[in-house]
Structure 1
Amino acid sequence: MEVKIVSKKLIKPIVATPDSLRKYKISCMDEVNATMNVVTILYYPFNQFYTYKGIIKTLETSLSRILPRFYPFAGRYIKEHHTVDCNDAGAEFMEAEVDAYDLKQVITNLEPDYLNELLPLEIGAADEITDPVCAVKVTKFRCGGIALAASVSHRIVDACSMGIFVSAWAEEATLREGQSRTIHPFHPPRTFLARIFLLKILESGGPEKVRRLCARGSYLTPRPSLPLGRGLATFPACNQG
């Protein structure tokens, strides 16, 4: 399946991150995580009530509005300091298209190679200063359906917090005047593990032991209610040895 990149841009937070939050120190457990991104792909069939340009505008605008609440997502990870520089460099937003396939052909087969083509970044494209912490890719299919893929560094999120981010983004995209937000903003990690505990983990197996906890396979779940219609969400799992 050939996926053609149409455009690529950086979406910056609508409000600048204050200096007091500029340095985001990751937790000691996140330091030994595998170098990878947590990803999800949301599928939406063609919906005659929404235009493609309108969808893109809504996604870009709502992402810009949600980034101040998830401020490390617009920063860049500094590997040697185990810190995210929350410099508002922006989340990467890509548009792509597939001319030879319909959305139904992809979601009925779920071939790993097809899924990888829909991702904005490779699973292991993390930890470098040039790697965006958060990236999004919208792929339009021949039938008019779309795949919305999101990728966030595993240094910052796990599958659960990725779900919170996507749900908060969906809520922002569909928020009406007078409605209040129900999902809480992002908070730094608490000191829930002492360094001595981390040393015990390293002594008993090190990062490889942590990596083996990663699940393998793909998982189908109901997608959040973005203004795009009905669909499915796929979470490609990591494939670490």
Structure 2
Amino acid sequence: MASPRLDLISTKIIKPSSPTPLIHRIQKLSIFDELNPCSNYMSFGMFFPKQYNPTLSVDPTHISTILENSLSRALTSFYPLAGTIRDDGLHVECNDVGAKFLQAKIDCPMSEINHSSSEAEDLVFPKDLPWTPSKENLVVVQLNHFNCGGIAISVCVSHKIVDGSSMANFINHWSTMARNPSASIPSFQFVGGSMRAEQQ
């Protein structure tokens, strides 16, 4: 089989559904996060085959709308992810610049992708797209539509502000918002900077 082709459909910025309070505008990084260069990032890919459920829409626009709206609500709780890294590399400015959200179309069915090889990784984390996190956008999401109706969601977050546990918490929180748009938006405390101060 020929290598599947990925075509970029759209790129947009998703901002938090509510502005971050000024009291949370500047977040100090922990001493461990300070040591991480901005170029390091954590990535997570999820594949979802087409669901043969007549009550569920597989329309790409509908799926995208759900994910964009729920991501916006999730960023309200995880507001540092919608910010930028200050030039000193020691602080996150929670200025609600948002997350980058890409949509792409893959011209093959999901069943033809070898998930145990680098082929799947190259599709959902394409090397030729400028989508890895930067100081300006700390989160990048790519929604991939296979021509069979299945989707893959790839998430990339700057390692400067997340570890494995916080990455999992963010994705779990985002999925909760996607499943239940009326779910309340919880408030989290980000205390990495205070832990850093106590160590000094």
- TM-score scaled by structure 1? 0.70
| Cα deviation 1:127-183 (Å, max 9, x = unaligned) | x434x1011100011211100111111011111111100100111111265x656x7
- SS of corresponding position for 1:24: strand
Percent identical residues? 30
Q: Does 1:11 align with 2:14?
A: yes
Structure 1 letter corresponding to 2:10: S
Cα 1:29–1:176, aligned 2, differ >3 Å: closer, same or farther? closer
Structure 2 letter corresponding to 1:114: A
Cα 1:60–1:176, aligned 2, differ >3 Å: closer, same or farther? closer
Asked whether the equivalents of residues 103 and 144 of structure 2 are also in contact (C-alpha less than 8 Å), the reply is yes
Q: Structure 1, unaligned stretches of length 5 or more?
A: 196-241
State the 1:67 CA deviation.
Answer: 0.9
Structure 2 letter corresponding to 1:194: Q
Distance 1:66 1:27 in 2: 22
Asked whether the equivalents of residues 78 and 188 of structure 2 are also in contact (C-alpha less than 8 Å), the reply is yes
- SS of corresponding position for 2:78: helix
State the 1:185 CA deviation.
Answer: 2.5
Distance 2:131 2:199 in 1: 28
Other-structure match for 1:114: 120
State the 1:104 CA deviation.
Answer: 2.1
Distance 2:89 2:6 in 1: 36
Q: Does 1:194 align with 2:199?
A: yes
Other-structure match for 1:239: none
State the 1:109 CA deviation.
Answer: 3.6
Other-structure match for 2:135: 129
Q: Does 1:87 align with 2:90?
A: no
Distance 2:130 2:12 in 1: 20
Q: Does 1:47 align with 2:47?
A: no
Distance 1:10 1:186 in 2: 25
Please provide the CA RMSD for this pair. Answer: 2.6
State the 1:103 CA deviation.
Answer: 1.2
Q: 1:147-158 residue pairs with structure 2 within 5 A?
A: 147-158=152-163
Cα 1:109–1:69, aligned 2, differ >3 Å: closer, same or farther? closer
Higher relative contact order (CA 8 A, sep 6+): 2
Q: Structure 2, unaligned stretches of length 5 or more?
A: none
User: Number of matched residues?
Assistant: 189
Structure 2 letter corresponding to 1:111: S
Other-structure match for 2:109: 102
Q: 2:146 aligns with which of 138, 141, 146?
A: 141
- TM-score scaled by structure 2? 0.83
Distance 1:14 1:124 in 2: 22
Structure 1 letter corresponding to 2:50: F
Distance 2:130 2:40 in 1: 5
Other-structure match for 2:84: 76
Cα 1:164–1:156, aligned 2, differ >3 Å: closer, same or farther? same
Asked whether the equivalents of residues 36 and 123 of structure 1 are also in contact (C-alpha less than 8 Å), the reply is no
Structure 2 letter corresponding to 1:57: T
State the 1:116 CA deviation.
Answer: 3.2
Q: Which moved more, 1:42-51 or 1:153-162?
A: 42-51
Cα 1:91–1:176, aligned 2, differ >3 Å: closer, same or farther? closer
